[in-house]
């Protein structure tokens, strides 16, 4: 009898396994395909590698202004794809070794929940005191016919001449930006009138502008019922993700409208001893770092620890210049009737930004009436790194006045954080 049986070896599953090992619990993990899940094999890691090289290629194409010249610059997708596979493989091997080292038993087959505390896999039955469902998600069905999904786009050997992306979320925007920088002609078609609708408005407008400047054509208010595929285009559907449920005896957990497993904030399903974490949850924001934390929280709960339900959710978009967001957007704060003050600092006067790029950018910060930080929206170099100091402030209830006391290095992108806070404090003093 295991203390914990985990179905799915993605970020939610393997993080739970490591946490269980650290707490001296016996754990078994079932993975029907590749360890690392969507994130490592078909998601975060390969796409961020591609966005890294797309940026590199675009920077080199534009390096004349810095006095760097080439006789010929060429991009070979087959070569970079090989490198991408090497990176994924090495991380996967590392993950496998760590699980082995932590004495987590890994079974490489599809698992099924037979009843409370019982899992069957490959003809065998396994007993466990607790079961964690971490089976992740798959691409949502496409609104148009004959479209590819992102898993397939990551397998192609040659950059398509023309790429048509359906969808206006993070994945759609990232792929559009990456493939445009690598040389494709890109069209992005969305149902609504703006990309990244769930994001801060300044960010959504800024990214729209930056995509258009790159030469990406954005079709808004599209009606996909009459959509006709153009044969000369590679058609990618990126309209979100859908929970992937394990085969299971009926009635053990409830499934919500979006098809995910309904849980409480920590991950309890309606059956004691059965939990869910990651993309498979109905309330999942489809983020790997959240999936990991949810997996760990379930283990802490099983270990009898007190579990804090809420930490701030950080979202990032890895276009050439990064975007990152945590906490409330202005529109959200307004809707919820939360009084706030917001301040925005642009990067035009930031020395480090001027040295490294000439892109427009900003840092926007929101504070509540008690001067505590309640939101941050960044569109600048390394936004995905800088955002963590805001998340820390939000999780610890730090005020704008406390944050501003830290002296940030010069020249750094973070100096703009100080500048934004300076404006914020001035505005807070005015109200």
Partner 1 sequence: MAERLFSKHHIWVLKEGDTGILGITDHAQEKLKSIMFVNLPDTGDMISDGKRFGDIESIKTVSDLIAPVSGEVTEVNEELIDSPELLNDAPYDNWLIKVKNISSLEDLMDEETYLKSKDDP
Interface residues with partner 1 (CB under 8 A)?
193-194, 201-202, 205-206, 209, 212, 344-346, 348-349, 360, 362, 423
85 binds, among partner 1, ligand FAD, none (CB under 5 to 8 A by kind): none
269 belongs to the binding site for ligand FAD (CB under 6 A): no
169 belongs to the binding site for ligand FAD (CB under 6 A): no
287 binds, among ligand FAD, partner 1, none (CB under 5 to 8 A by kind): ligand FAD
d(CA 206, CA 98): 41
Nearer to partner 1, 44 or 190 (CB): 190
User: Total residues at the site for ligand FAD (CB under 6 A)?
Assistant: 38
Nearer to ligand FAD, 140 or 351 (CB): 140
Please pick, from the candidates 80, 135, 187, 321, the single residue that binds ligand FAD as defined by CB under 6 A: 135
260 belongs to the binding site for ligand FAD (CB under 6 A): no
Question: Please, which residues bridge with residue 375 across strands?
Answer: 327, 366
Dihedral of alpha carbons 95, 96, 99, 105, sign:
positive
Please pick, from the candidates 17, 148, 160, 279, the single residue that binds ligand FAD as defined by CB under 6 A: 279
43 belongs to the binding site for ligand FAD (CB under 6 A): yes
Please list, in sequence order, all residues whose beta carbon lies within 8 angstroms of the beta carbon of residue 320, skipping any fewer than 6 positions away. 51, 54, 55, 58, 177, 181, 210, 359
Distance of closest approach, residue 9 Cβ to ligand FAD, in angstroms: 5
Look at strands 323-327 and 314-317 and give their pairing: antiparallel
Nearer to ligand FAD, 128 or 291 (CB): 291
278 binds, among ligand FAD, partner 1, none (CB under 5 to 8 A by kind): ligand FAD
d(CA 417, CA 414): 5
289 belongs to the binding site for ligand FAD (CB under 6 A): yes
Closest CA to 286 of 164, 150, 410: 150
CA-based R_g, the chain, Å: 23
Say whether 213 sits in a helix, a strand or coil. helix
The stretch near ligand FAD (CB under 6 A) out of 278-286, 323-331, 374-382, 407-415 is 278-286
Residues 309-348, one symbol each (x = binds ligand FAD by CB under 6 A, - = not), give ---------x------------------------------
Distance of closest approach, residue 135 Cβ to ligand FAD, in angstroms: 3
d(CA 346, CA 319): 18
286 binds, among partner 1, ligand FAD, none (CB under 5 to 8 A by kind): ligand FAD
Q: Where are the beta strands (DSSP E) in 122-233?
A: 124-133, 137-139, 162-166, 185-189, 217-219
Distance of closest approach, residue 363 Cβ to partner 1, in angstroms: 10
The stretch near ligand FAD (CB under 6 A) out of 5-13, 16-24, 265-273, 404-412 is 5-13
10 binds, among partner 1, ligand FAD, none (CB under 5 to 8 A by kind): ligand FAD
Using alpha carbons, list the distances in angstroms from residue 204 to 29, 55, 207, 280: 39, 20, 5, 27
- Which of the 8 DSSP states describes residue 125? E
Is there a contact between 147 and 282 (Cβ–Cβ < 8 Å)?
Answer: no
Question: Please, which residues bridge with residue 399 across strands?
Answer: 372
CA dihedral 261, 266, 270, 271 (to 10 degrees): 110
368 belongs to the binding site for ligand FAD (CB under 6 A): no
Using alpha carbons, list the distances in angstroms from residue 74 to 46, 60, 363: 21, 10, 35
Could you count the other beta carbons within 10 Å of the beta carbon of residue 338? 14
346 binds, among ligand FAD, partner 1, none (CB under 5 to 8 A by kind): partner 1
348 binds, among ligand FAD, partner 1, none (CB under 5 to 8 A by kind): partner 1
Closest CA to 418 of 398, 403, 431, 396: 403
- Window 223-252: residues binding ligand FAD (CB under 6 A): 244, 246
Nearer to ligand FAD, 37 or 327 (CB): 37
**What do you get for the CA distance between the two ends of the chain, in Å?**
61
Nearer to partner 1, 193 or 309 (CB): 193
Contacts to ligand FAD by CB under 6 A? 7-13, 30-33, 37-39, 42-44, 47-48, 110-111, 134-137, 150, 171, 244, 246, 278-280, 286-289, 291, 318
């Amino acid at each position: 009898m295991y203390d914990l049986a985990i179905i799915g070896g993605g970020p939610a599953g393997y993080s739970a396994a490591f946490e269980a090992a650290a707490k001296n619990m016996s754990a078994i993990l079932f993975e029907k395909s590749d360890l690392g899940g969507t994130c490592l094999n078909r998601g975060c890691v390969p796409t961020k590698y591609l966005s890294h090289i797309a940026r590199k290629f675009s920077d080199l194409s534009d390096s004349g202004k810095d006095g760097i010249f080439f006789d010929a610059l060429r991009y070979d997708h087959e070569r970079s794809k090989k490198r991408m596979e090497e990176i994924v493989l090495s991380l996967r091997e590392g993950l496998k070794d760590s699980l082995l080292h932590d004495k987590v038993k890994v079974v490489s087959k599809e698992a099924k929940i037979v009843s409370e505390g019982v899992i069957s896999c490959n003809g065998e039955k396994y007993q466990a005191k607790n079961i964690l469902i971490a089976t992740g998600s798959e691409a949502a069905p496409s609104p148009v016919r004959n479209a590819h999904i992102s898993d397939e786009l990551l397998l192609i050997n040659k950059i398509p001449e023309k790429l048509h992306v359906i969808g206006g979320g993070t994945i759609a925007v990232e792929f559009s930006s990456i493939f445009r920088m690598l040389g494709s002609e890109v069209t992005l078609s969305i149902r609504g009138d703006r990309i990244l609708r769930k994001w801060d408005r300044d960010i959504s407008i800024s990214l729209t502008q930056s995509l258009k400047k790159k030469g990406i054509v954005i079709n808004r208010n599209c009606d996909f019922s009459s959509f006709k595929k153009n044969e000369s285009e590679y058609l990618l559907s990126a309209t979100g993700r859908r929970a992937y449920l394990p085969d299971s005896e009926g009635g053990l957990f409830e499934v919500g409208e979006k098809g995910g497993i309904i849980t409480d904030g920590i991950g309890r399903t309606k059956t004691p001893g059965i939990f869910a974490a990651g993309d498979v949850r109905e309330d999942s924001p489809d983020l790997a770092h959240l999936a990991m934390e949810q997996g760990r929280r379930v283990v802490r709960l099983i270990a009898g620890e007190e579990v804090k339900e809420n930490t701030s959710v950080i979202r990032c978009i890895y276009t050439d210049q990064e975007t990152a967001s945590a906490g409330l957007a202005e529109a959200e704060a307004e809707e919820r009737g939360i009084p706030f003050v917001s301040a925005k600092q642009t990067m035009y006067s930031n020395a480090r930004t001027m040295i490294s790029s000439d892109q427009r950018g900003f840092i926007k910060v929101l504070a509540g009436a008690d001067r505590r930080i309640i939101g941050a929206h960044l569109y600048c170099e390394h936004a995905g790194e800088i955002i963590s100091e805001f998340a820390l402030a939000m999780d610890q209830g730090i005020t704008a006045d406390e944050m501003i006391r830290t002296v940030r290095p010069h020249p750094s992108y973070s100096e703009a954080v100080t500048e934004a806070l300076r404006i914020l404090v001035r505005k807070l003093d005015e109200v």
